[in-house]
Amino acid sequence: MNKTIKEIIVKVTYKERLCDFEVSENTYRGLCKIRDYGRIDGCYDMGDDDIAYAFDWISSNITEGDSFGWEYEIEDLETEDQP
């Protein structure tokens, strides 16, 4: 018998390695800031132009299809038969 899942939240983490490429000074500074902060998400306040450049560069150049080292974490799973 199949189970009905009302909602699932899955956190997907992957890595990608890029080598020997050039970026603008703004993008480089932004990448360094993100490295120093530890991480950044899509909800970040883009008040910092360097981080905005870096975020745009990452969004254009990092893709799931080129990645390795996938990790999946189920953060929440709700079924119909749960109270």
Indicate the residue type of 37: Y
pLDDT tens per residue across span 27-81? 999 999 999 988 777 666 668 899 999 989 998 998 888 888 889 999 999 988 7
pLDDT at 19: 92
| CA distance readout (Å), 7 to 12, 13, 42, 61, 81 | 16, 20, 22, 31, 12
Residue 20: which pLDDT band, with cuts at 50, 70 and 90? very high
Domain regions of the chain by residue span: 5-77
Which tokens hold the place of 69? 């080292």
pLDDT at 83: 58
Which tokens hold the place of 15? 């890595």
